A = this chain, B = another copy of it.
Amino acid sequence: MKIAIAGSGALGSGFGAKLFQNGYDVSLIDGWEPQVTSIQQEGLHIDINGEGYHFDIPMHCLSQIPSNELYDVIFLFPKSMQLESVLDAIKPHIHKETIVVCTMNGLKHERLIRNYVEDARIVRGVTTWTAGIDVPGHTHLMGSGPVEVGCLVPEGIDNVKIIVDILNQSELNGVVSEDLHQSIWKKICVNGTANALCSILECNLATLNESSYAKNLIYKLTQEIVHVATSDHVHLNVDEVFEYLIDLNEKVGPHYPSMYQDLIKDHRKTEIDYINGAVARLGNENHIPAPVNEFVTNLIHSKESQLNAQ
């Protein structure tokens, strides 16, 4: 079974390393030249939950995937805004039974992915694992929680089971999601509050929890997200989700979310259009107003513009 990691930045290289370490035939693929060159020349240096490893994993540049390669499983880990170009590049390497796995943050990536493979071959999910790039070729992976995956259509369940098996063989704790859409929306609540607000207020998660006003911001965003989720037949209780978010912020207090790191630290463009922006768009499609999510999206874009984010 040939596996590709399409988008081998922080989380992609982490998942790739775990699969490779457990004997899978894995190829990393990425479009960022420094990362590609470093791993091709010196292998991947990775810190997994505090322990250092070094793996000589095959690494291909996105524009130079060997023409005869066909992948049985493709894990998608690009930034959301690069998903389409990554899918275009990997399209020639998809065969008629390839399974495409997407545990990316954000809403409705399947709308794009189903232009490349049918619904039954798309495995969608969410993960609580986190990762980062220290320097090109040197990354870290942290986590212990589940990787929840599920199918978009009932006939996809066998493919979901194949992916759960691969994840479990690789100590990535694959589980079949009991309610895939609910898990995705709950993750949107996490990212749509913590990522956006820590980036706007330039603070960590503990700081959000210290102020009743910031908690009110979390509540208002969550309220809208939960409301828009009903258009996806997902019914969450806003107070329960809010308590869950406050608890989560408490647990990982000193952490600065990835959007903060991208925007404030590295002056890179964010995935806001795929989180709060996607909530606002989906709300708009379904006549459920989400003005605060739209406002937050524009605030983040204003900051990107101000910081000349690339």
A residues whose Cβ falls under 8 Å from a Cβ of B = 200-201, 203, 207-208, 210-211, 213-214, 216-217, 220, 291-292, 294-296, 298-299, 301-306
Contact = CB atoms under 8 A, between A and B. Distances in A.
A207 B299 contact: no
Nearest to A294: B220
A296 B298 CA distance: 13
B200 A301 contact: no
A294 B214 CA distance: 12
A204 to B, nearest CB: 11
A55 to B, nearest CB: 41
B210 A305 contact: yes
B303 A201 contact: yes
A304 B214 CA distance: 11
A210 B307 CA distance: 12
Contacts of A301: 211, 213
A190 to B, nearest CB: 19
A245 to B, nearest CB: 15
Contacts of A213: 298-299, 301-302, 304-305
Contacts of A207: 306
Contacts of A292: 291-292, 295
Contacts of A302: 201, 208, 211, 213-214, 217
Contacts of A299: 200-201, 213, 217
Contacts of A304: 213
B306 A220 contact: no
A211 B299 CA distance: 10
Pairs A-B, 9 closest by C-beta atoms: A213-B301, A211-B305, A214-B302, A213-B302, A213-B298, A216-B298, A292-B295, A291-B291, A211-B302
A308 to B, nearest CB: 11
A291 B210 contact: no
Contacts of A303: 201
A295 B214 contact: no
8 contacts: A201-B302, A210-B306, A211-B302, A211-B305, A214-B298, A217-B298, A220-B295, A295-B296
Contacts of A203: 306
A219 to B, nearest CB: 9
A264 to B, nearest CB: 12
A158 B304 CA distance: 53
Nearest to A217: B298
Given A201-B303, A213-B299, 12 more contacts: A200-B200, A200-B299, A203-B306, A208-B302, A210-B306, A211-B306, A213-B302, A214-B298, A214-B302, A216-B298, A217-B295, A220-B298
A252 B9 CA distance: 44
A64 to B, nearest CB: 36
A246 to B, nearest CB: 15
A2 B295 CA distance: 49
